[in-house]
Structures are given as structure tokens and as C-alpha cells.
Structure 1
């Protein structure tokens, strides 16, 4: 870099701490000074979980998102522009300066969000893209193990009818996307067919409808059709439950025996019979056996009448 045309001014030598500049031009100068030397990082940039031995994928996602929110991801997205300090236009010099600042601060953010052991095992690079690739090579073997685990989870996925079918399908599609990011090459058509095979028998009608059509569904069409089918099954299930409950109530009412209406006289007669039996039965227990024939049930009924 060429610094011959730059003049350094030590503001600390001014005892009044005042340069004499005022107005919009001075405001732009001070804004440039503070933004270059005192970057205002968002809180999420400074709160990234440090890179250790098992969180590379999450760490990489957090780094890319955080640098994008802070407008520091230009060095990750675009190649380095040619130096334009002497022959370039003002726009080219500003673009080069912005890219250089993005590269420098991105390297600082990455190195800050690592443990000391990880940072010491990675060789320093001039550009942030090369530095990120060097970090990825250290975790390449762990990605293979992660791919095997994701593939096992993808193949063993099964919807049991509990929960939300939309969330289930989106979860399986997410597993497929992660596998594709690891170069497994699972097409969307295979994902749709796999999800249909993992549905319970209650969705068999929809599966047959899919198999009879020549065109395959997209993942969005699969989600829409499955949600509609689930809502239809819930409505039919509610109707069947109401029908069974009404049928049970009808059987219970048919099984009950109606008590005959005795009228006022009949009720009084029944009470007198109960009272008479309560008085006679203790006496029968004390009588000799040969005298029990005198007090049969028929005689008790006659006494009651």
C-alpha cells in the first residue's frame, strides 16, 4: 500500500482538543475516523459461541449471518478488487477501501470467536476467504461422521400421526438439505417419495392418488396436500366419535328397565309390606322348625292385605 500522500495529525498535541473544523464536511471527516477505528459491532457479532471441537457448522452459520448484519461480509462475497490509489476513480478507491476494511475486520471477528487451542492450530491467512477455508479443512472429517448420522436419521424418519404433519415434512426436508450440503445428492423427487412412504396407513388414499399421477409433486405441493388430508381425517374422526357416543347413549336408554308407576296407594302398600316383614322375620327365627309352615310367604302377603 502507498501512504506517501497521507498526512498524519496527532490530535492529542492540541491542548484544547479542538481542530477548528465545523459544519457538514467536518462531521463527515469525524464519522469516517470513528467508523474506521471504532467500528460499532452489533451485539450478535460479539456474542458468537466460540469455535471448539464440535460446533463448526453452527459457528460458521453464526459468523456469516453476523458479518452480513454488520455489513462486513463483502470480502466473503466478492473477490478483492484491484488497487486504485493512483489511477482509479473515487468510486473505485472507495470500493477498494470498503473491501479492505471488511477483510480486516472479518478476520478479527473470526479470530476473536475461537478458543485459544483452535486459533493456534490454524495458519494465518491474508484474506478472510482463505482463512475460512483453512478452518473448514480442519473439520472435514467430522463432517463425514455428521453425514452418516444425518443419513441414518433421514432413513429412520416415520410419522406416527401425532403432532403437526407440516412440521414433520419440513423437518425431513431440512435433513435432506443438510445431506445435500454434504454432497449426498438427494433429489426433491426422492425426498417426496420417501416422505410419502413414512406416512401412516390413514394417508393411503393420498399415496395412491400420487402414484396414479404421472407428474410428481414438489415439496410445497406435498405439504399442501398432506395438510388438507390431515384436516379431512380430523373432521371424519370427529364425526365418528359423535356417532359412537350417540349410539352408546341409545343402547343405555334401551337397556334400562322402567319402574312401573304404582300410584299413591301402591307406594303405601309397599311400605306396609316392608314394615311387616321387618317385624315378622325376627320372630320366625326364634320359632321351632315345625311351626314355620304357618308363616309362609303367602301368609305374610295375606296378613299384609
Structure 2
């Protein structure tokens, strides 16, 4: 009963998983006799011909009675198995799928009609499995689990009437494993015999252990392969520019020299000498004639007394 409860409800995209769980449940419950065995054929009742003798008719009647007894003996368990299988199949599918299927007297015919409805989706799922199987690469976790996963994908294709030859599957496995197994692959091609999946798993696991010991003992091949790669981001962070830009440098222009302090020793006049009249004691901004010239030209000059220079 636990296995029967584990059967997922058929909704539309889980046909493969549903059929697999259904087969396991029916087999473990020992009620799959009607699915694996064709329906017994009832013998035809003899009809006496006009010129047939009593002895000949009695022989045929006796044979019919024996066949009828055997038929009744075989039909009783088959009918019981067929009735139970139909109940379980109908109870494990959704209502809208069950309403779309016409009534069938046998469980085998009912399963065939269900399969015909999911032929299109099965083909799409099969194409996805084939693409994943061809493009699959080893990403760590152990070579044994990797091969078992590919073998499971191939077994799913078998249930969809798309079996793959075992030598072809072996070559796909060799294509998906890391380059460290290249020598191992070459040695396999020199052999005359073809390996099955069980022997391939054993030999690849042995080769994986040898490579781990050669790489230092204990580290998987995939991780050792990635430790040898350089980190471009780390190198980029450690890169230093030979000449750091100055604060006043533009994005595309040349760098400007740093500002320098004025040297008053080379100035032509003293600090307290007027630049207009060349006399000491006042500045140019305080000279009346200079201020009159500014007014004539329309300029307005307002001296700032806070910025006057101190007299020596």
C-alpha cells in the first residue's frame, strides 16, 4: 500500500516518472499479471456437422471441455489482476485525463491510450535528454556518480523506445570526463573488446584514484585542475599604474604643474610703493588719479581694506 501511495498523479508532464512508479507498485503488489500476460482466448464451442459421426463429435467435445476448463482456470486470476490494475491506473491519473480516455476492457489497452496522448510530450522530453546527454561534462563529485547519472538518462530513453547502443554511451562518457583521462581513453581504443557500463565505472574509478595519488593524494581531479588556473581579477587588483595622475589632471589633457609661491625679490618695486606714481607710502588703488581713470572708463573699483598689505 505504501508503494501504491507513492505513485504520483499523472498531470501532463510527469508521464515517465508516473509510468515507472506504476510498474514498480504493480509488480511489488503482484497484480501485474494482466499487463505482462495477454488475455486468455476462450475456445470455440464445437458444432456437429451433418455427416459427422458420434465418435468424432465426442472427441471434439472432449477436447473442448478440456480447453474450456483450462481457460476458466487461467481467466480467473487474469480477470482479477485486470480489474485491480484498471482501478489503480484510473485512480492515479487526474480527472481531466481520465475523462478524455474512452472506456477500455483491459488495462493494457488503457495504458496504450494514455501513452498515445503523451507521445508529443515524450518526444520533446526525449530530445531534451539526448541534448543533455551529448553536451554533459564532468563537474566534480566523483566519476562514479557522473557515469551513473549518464546511464540513468540513457535508461529513460529506453522507456521511450529510443535505446542507445552501449558502445555509443561509453564513448559519450569518455567525451564528458576531464582531459586527465585522455591517456586512459587512448588505451581503451586500443582494446579489441567493448566495455559495458559496469566495467567502465570500475575502470574509471580505479583511474581516478591513480590520478588523485599522482596529484598529491586525496584531492579530486576536477579541483586540482582548477587550482592551476590563474585568477585574472586578483592580478587586475594588484596592477599599479607607473605614474599616478595628479589632482588637477583632466581625463584627456596633460598634467598641470603644481602651483608655486610668488617670489617678491624679483618684483620691480617695493611692497609699499605705488605702481602708478612710483612713490612710497600708498598703493595704486589709493592713488586719486588712478581712481579718476577708472570712473571715466565706467569701471567701479571698491578697495577692500581687509586685503591691504602690511607696511614693513
In the superposition, the TM-score normalised over structure 1's length comes to 0.60
1:80 corresponds in structure 2 to 39
Cα distance in 1 for partners of 2:77, 2:106 equals 14
- In structure 2, C-alpha distance between the alignment counterparts of 1:64 and 1:153, rounded to whole Å: 26
Structure 1 residue runs without a partner (length 5+): 1-41, 242-305
Equivalent in the alignment of 2:14? 55
Equivalent residue number for residue 44 of structure 1: 3
Structure 1 residue 186 and structure 2 residue 186: aligned? Answer: no
- Is 1:64 the counterpart of 2:23? The answer is yes
Whole-angstrom distance in 1 between the partners of 2:30 and 2:158: 28
1:217 paired residue among 184, 195, 202: 195
Distance 1:185 1:95, change over 3 A: closer
The 1:59–1:152 alpha-carbon spacing in structure 2 relative to 1, beyond 3 Å, is same
Relative to 1, partners in 2 of residues 1:200 and 1:46: Cα closer, same or farther, differing over 3 Å? closer
**What secondary structure sits across from 1:87 in the alignment?**
helix
Question: Take 1:122 and 1:103, find their aligned partners in 2: how far apart are those partners?
Answer: 17
Aligned length: 199
Instruction: Kindly name which structure, 1 or 2, has the bigger radius of gyration based on alpha carbons.
Output: 2
Show the 5 A alignment for 1:93-172: 93-160=72-139, 162-172=140-150
CA RMSD of aligned residues (A): 2.4
Give the secondary structure class of the aligned counterpart of 2:30.
coil
Looking at structure 1, the residues matched to 108 and 84 of structure 2 have their Cα atoms a distance apart, in angstroms, of: 13
Shift of 1:93: 3.0
**Is this contact kept in 1: 2:8–2:92, CA < 8 A?**
yes
Matched, 1:208 2:167: no
Distance in 1 (alpha carbons) for counterparts of 2:203 and 2:5: 44
CA distance in structure 2 between the partners assigned to 1:68 and 1:219 by the alignment:
26
Tell me which stretches of 4 or more aligned residues in structure 1 moved more than 4 Å. 88-92
Q: Distance in 2 between matches of 1:236 and 1:196?
A: 20
Q: Could you tell me how far apart the structure 1 residues matched to 2:218 and 2:30 are?
A: 58
CA shift, 1:172, in A, is 1.0
**What's the TM-score, normalizing by structure 2?**
0.59
